[in-house]
Amino acid sequence: MEELDCLQEACGLFACVACGEWPTNLDVAHIIYLGLVALQHRGQEMAGIVTSKGENKKKYAVHRGVGNVSQVFSEDHLRNLRGNLGIGHTRYSTHGGTEHQNAQPFVVYTLHGLLAVAHNGELVNAKNLRNKILENGVGLSTGSDSELITQILSMPPPEGEPHGADWLGRIRHLMALTLTAYSLVIMHDDVIFAVRDPFGNRPLCIGELLPPGVIQESKHGDFEPEGWIVSSETCVFPSVSAKLHREIEPGEIVQVTKHGIRSIGTVSRPDNKPPALCIFEYVYFARPDSILEGQMVYMVRKECGRQLALEAAFKADIVSTVPESATPSALGFSEVSGIPYAEVLCKNRYVGRTFIQPNPYLRQLAVAKKFGPLSANFRGKKIILIDDSIVRGTTIGAIIRLLKESGAKEVHIRIASPPLHYPCYMGINIPTREELIANELNADQLAKKLGANSLVYLSVGGLLSAVQRGISNNGKPSGHCTACLTGKYPVELEW
Ligand code: SF4
């Protein structure tokens, strides 16, 4: 699926705590900036960083804005973001739009001091929670779930909460009110809390900042970390000279300070339900060099291609892909089928964002602007073209036409994920059921409409078998949300 017709991720989170006292040698704001740049694929609409010197409880340094990370931050902004701990956020808006007040992290004054919060996900019961908050006389200034979370965290937990009115109690209260979907980084005083919802729907991991001269292969304990980071994905680590410490468990609350990390609580899922990491993190959202559940996303995508070849091989001359997200799947397909891999499209990396076009002529122009046919590789040949998913089907037809007009004999589409049938209520911007092409046309009808010679999707079983080699930190098998494919949501939906 290339970006003309894609699902949209909801956000990237990053946090950093330096191990020394203020003033620290570590440039925390720059580290957070580099972390957000590496997480840019998770949201390009807004970005923000909040830093603190820890001991000064009355003031945070804040900069947020509209645009991608390098547009929002200049050297001057980063110089003014002084502190030895901080959190950052890069946003794609599912709720609340791109007005400046929706930029995160949110910062509020509470009875207990300043609080900064950054959120990835969408609360399945946001509407009911919003009503409860309003009924309690608390006003909300944005439509975003993240502000809702911030307000709930500011409130006292109910009597009887075993952890009383401290931050653990407040976070547990939030987690009792809403089970999914969120990963959070929360900053208060000189502490950052990293929280993953009980279903683990969004990823979150912890890294150690390596001192100069220490290499990635060093084991934990062989060196004193310069600091600790929390990130939505591990792909960040090389760019900030850090190594993965571990992934945060579903339902876990981790406290990060200059003294190190400590797991301070876990909230379990009701009725022994399995975890539900979004399976589209593997299919599309996460960067291929990230590690999820102990496995590299690239290898899972390759395995999806291998499964697809087992399910839907076809005698063709070459296997190829729409650059670049489905390339590992195309390589896996090629390995199993024995059909050679060859590139058929050259991507123009400088066209910027291309919006979904309203008619076939404009779509054809948008595709031609973005891709040049490498016709010497495929003239007169039968191509198997692998893509990672189809949402509305608005652009793949234009690509097939481009290939055929440039000399392809046949174009057979293979999709390295199952058809999308249901909307997502956990933070991914999937269109309504009516807009999803798989609800209108079956695979054969869609192939005909698109001008493809055939079209086959990967089965749900094939996708699950490709991802299920992952395990959590405690060695237990993981579980995945497949709701947009199967209609089986991890929790009952409240309206
Ligand atoms: S419904 Fe689909 S996109 Fe949404 S969390 Fe579940 S698997 Fe991910």
Domains of the chain: 3-273 (3.60.20.10), 300-463 (3.40.50.2020)
Q: Which residue has the tokens 């999308």?
A: 420
Q: Does the beta carbon of 11 sit less than 6 angstroms from any atom of ligand 1?
A: no
Going by CA atoms, what residue is nearest to atom 2 of ligand 1? 484
Q: Does the beta carbon of 424 sit less than 6 angstroms from any atom of ligand 1?
A: yes
Q: What is the pLDDT of residues 446-485, one digit of tens each?
A: 999 999 999 999 999 999 999 986 555 556 667 999 999 9
CB count in 10 Å sphere of residue 158: 10
Ligand 1 centroid – CA 277 distance (Å): 8
Ligand 1 centroid – CA 131 distance (Å): 25
Peptide bond just before 181 cis, omega within 30 deg: yes
- So what's the pLDDT on residue 418? 97
Q: Does the beta carbon of 483 sit less than 6 angstroms from any atom of ligand 1?
A: yes
Give the Cα separation of 247 and 112 in Å (integer): 29
Ligand 1 atom at minimum distance from 483 CA: 1
Structure tokens at 281: 């993190």
Q: Does the beta carbon of 93 sit less than 6 angstroms from any atom of ligand 1?
A: no
Give the Cα separation of 99 and 38 in Å (integer): 24
Q: Does the beta carbon of 482 sit less than 6 angstroms from any atom of ligand 1?
A: yes
- So what's the pLDDT on residue 5? 60
Q: Which residue has the tokens 């969120």?
A: 182
- So what's the pLDDT on residue 95? 56
- So what's the pLDDT on residue 453? 97
Ligand 1 atom at minimum distance from 422 CA: 1
- So what's the pLDDT on residue 8? 63
- So what's the pLDDT on residue 220? 77
| SS3 assignment for the chain | CCHHHCCCCCEEEEEEEECCCCCCCCCHHHHHHHHHHHCHHHCCCEEEEEEECCCCCCCCEEEEEECCHHHHCCHHHHHHCCCCEEEEEEECCCCCCCCHHHCCCEEEEECCEEEEEEEECCCCCHHHHHHHHHHCCCCCCCCCHHHHHHHHHHCCCCCCCCCCCCHHHHHHHHHHHCCCCCEEEEEECCEEEEEECCCCCCCCEEEEECCCCCCCCCCCCCCCCCEEEEECCHHHHHHHCEEEEEECCCCEEEEEECCEEEEEEECCCHHHCCCCEECHHHHHHCCCCCEECCEEHHHHHHHHHHHHHHHHCCCCCEEEECCCCCHHHHHHHHHHHCCCECCCEEECCCCCCCCCCCCHHHHHHHHHHHEEECHHHCCCCEEEEEECCCCCCCCHHHHHHHHHHCCCCEEEEEECCCCCCCCCCCCCCCCCHHHCHHHCCCHHHHHHHHCCCEEEECCHHHHHHHHCCCECCCCCECCEECHHHHCCCCCCCCC
Give mean pLDDT in consecutive 10-residue pieces for the chain, a chain of 495 residues.
56 94 86 97 92 80 94 95 95 65 86 91 89 82 84 82 80 91 94 97 96 80 90 96 95 96 94 92 94 94 96 93 91 97 90 59 75 96 95 86 96 97 87 86 96 97 86 67 95 75
Going by CA atoms, what residue is nearest to atom 4 of ligand 1? 424
Q: Does the beta carbon of 284 sit less than 6 angstroms from any atom of ligand 1?
A: no
Q: What is the pLDDT of residues 57-76, one digit of tens each?
A: 678 999 999 999 999 999 99
Ligand 1 centroid – CA 276 distance (Å): 9
Active site (annotated) includes residue 481: no
Ligand 1 test: best mutation among 484, 489, 491, 493, most atoms within 8 Å of CB? 484
- So what's the pLDDT on residue 309? 97
Sign of CA dihedral 200, 44, 389, 294: negative
- So what's the pLDDT on residue 422? 93
Q: What is the pLDDT of residues 332-354, one digit of tens each?
A: 999 999 999 999 999 887 776 55
Ligand 1 atom at minimum distance from 485 CA: 2
Residue of 212, 249, 243 whose CA lies nearest to 228: 243
Going by CA atoms, what residue is nearest to atom 8 of ligand 1? 278
Q: Does the beta carbon of 278 sit less than 6 angstroms from any atom of ligand 1?
A: yes
Structure tokens at 39: 């997480």
Ligand 1 atom at minimum distance from 482 CA: 7
- Annotated catalytic residue: which of 11, 205, 304, 484? 11
Q: Does the beta carbon of 201 sit less than 6 angstroms from any atom of ligand 1?
A: yes
Ligand 1 test: best mutation among 388, 417, 428, 488, most atoms within 8 Å of CB? 428
